[in-house]
Chain A
Amino acid sequence: MTANKSDRVTRETAATRHVGFTVNGQYHEFRVGSGGIEISPTHTLSWTLREVLGLMGTKVSCDSGACGSCTVIMDGKAVLSCKVLTIECDGKTITTIEGLRDPKTGALDPIQQSFIDHTAFQCGYCTPGMIMTAKAFLNENPQPTEEEIKDALSGNFCRCISHYQVIRAVMSVVEKEGEHGR
């Protein structure tokens, strides 16, 4: 027996749909709807992170998938939160710039510290996206070449031309890790 439209639609909408996901180690569950704290099907993840969860570290610049400033890590991969629907995040694990700090000691992530040490920003608007992209990349490839870093960060644009310092900051993390490994 094939379900008709009303059955299909009922299954999803009327039976109060929920979306639950983990952000920086904290689980959040929302009802789908159009009320104040509900998730509308049209909400993007960047909107939910900023406007609902108050995590303002994730920046929205182009809102068109073209600049990388809204990058977060979802299930280990760098993705653009302005091109993700929150309603499609059920079961996902998300890390934003606020979640990089060591939860116990409060110490910054080595990439964050290196950005500070190398002054790898001016206005700082692109910086969270740069750091999250670099973080996901180094998790996958801890000992990359400079070319590989440039390639990994090729989707992150900076209006203030911090790119040179950014590459140096990331390279320096890689070099330090290499020394520890030895």
Chain B
Amino acid sequence: MKQFEHHDALSIEEAVALLSDYEGKAKIIAGGTDLLGALRDEVFLEYPEALINIKTIDGLDYIRSDEKGLAIGAMAGLADIVKSPVVKKEYQMLAEAAYSVATPQIRNMATIGGNLAQDVRCWFYRYPRRIGGPMVCLRKGGKFCSALAGDNRYHSIFGAAALSDISLDLGKVRKGCFAVGPSDIAVALIAMDASIVTTKRSLPAELFFKATALSSTVLDSDELVKEIEIPKLPMGAVQRYDKFTLRKPIDFAVVSVASMLTLNNGVCEDARIVLGAVAPEPVRARKAEQVMKGRIVDEDVALEAAEHALAGSSPLRMNEYKVEIAKVLVKHAIWG
């Protein structure tokens, strides 16, 4: 790895101060499972001058539950989340999403904060610099997204993230980055209507993920995720996290679906359905949710919702199959 300076932060305030001292040229290191790979392969447009270690901050790894819901510190480990009795019992979608991440060793090291803030996994972007030089994609100052011409089997089926965050109709943007949001936890948190608390604000998970071709979240360069808050789930809520991959351990999702259905005598009172790995950000299938409300859930409703969830998708040359997989997962989420 190329040189960087290294600081152990002892408090959140110190970490934030260090980040602002470096004026955007320092990065937080939590578990390091994502960051160290990106540093080794030199994929960042600008190599960081310093790493700020936040493992040295005490008391950020809690998992606490009370009558309002669950609060998880940003440094809580994925393995601890999977093992937590209260998560397993009341928030099993989160346990399933966390368990689906990578491998046992990585879950021993990885944190939930790092999972939410991780960088995209597009194979053009992540191509190691030392093997024949970098692939200069849009994220690295190139003119267009390499996935447009190259192998795009794992890329977005819902359009690209624009270079800057000027909001454009995602379906039509061609000049943008087609990498998909990689985080499994993100998808589950949106389905559970969680909030993300940072050092600057608290906002619904849905608004935290905001993809541009330069970043995947709203985080400023001197902002940290502090806590994740999940409200107590409604009585009778049926939660589920499904992830389609080629190999079970290690692989990132080809498509994932997190769902929370509130049923009363078979009638759908509320539904939240979120698709992962189909777009630069997790996608909430609002139309699918709406068509279910007030109806008795059966196979036809599930099929109808699945069609709505994928309406408006615009697959690339090699990833039309993802549309079919996503439909099947949505259908499964609703009707077994």
Contacts and interface: CB of A to CB of B under 8 A. Distances in A.
A and B physically associate: yes
Interface of A: 2-5, 8-9, 12-13, 32, 34, 40-42, 44, 63-66, 68, 71, 77-80, 83-85, 87-88, 133, 137, 151-152, 154-155
Interface of B: 1-8, 14, 17-18, 21, 29, 32-33, 36-37, 39-40, 51, 53, 55, 79, 102-106, 108-109, 248-250
Q: DSSP majority for the A interface?
A: mixed
Given A8-B18, A65-B33, A83-B37, A151 B104 contact: yes
B109 A84 contact: yes
B187 to A, nearest CB: 21
19 contacts: A2-B17, A5-B18, A8-B17, A32-B6, A41-B3, A42-B1, A65-B36, A78-B105, A79-B108, A79-B109, A83-B32, A83-B106, A83-B109, A85-B36, A88-B29, A88-B53, A154-B103, A154-B249, A155-B103
Given A64-B37, A83-B36, A154-B248, A8 B106 contact: no
Contacts of B51: 41, 85
Contacts, number: 92
Nearest to A81: B105
Given A78-B104, A88-B8, A155-B104, 16 more contacts: A9-B5, A40-B3, A42-B1, A42-B4, A44-B1, A66-B250, A71-B105, A77-B79, A77-B108, A80-B105, A83-B32, A83-B37, A88-B29, A151-B104, A154-B104, A155-B102
Given A12-B8, A41-B6, A87-B6, A155 B55 contact: no
Contacts of A44: 1, 36
A4 B22 CA distance: 12
Q: DSSP majority for the B interface?
A: mixed
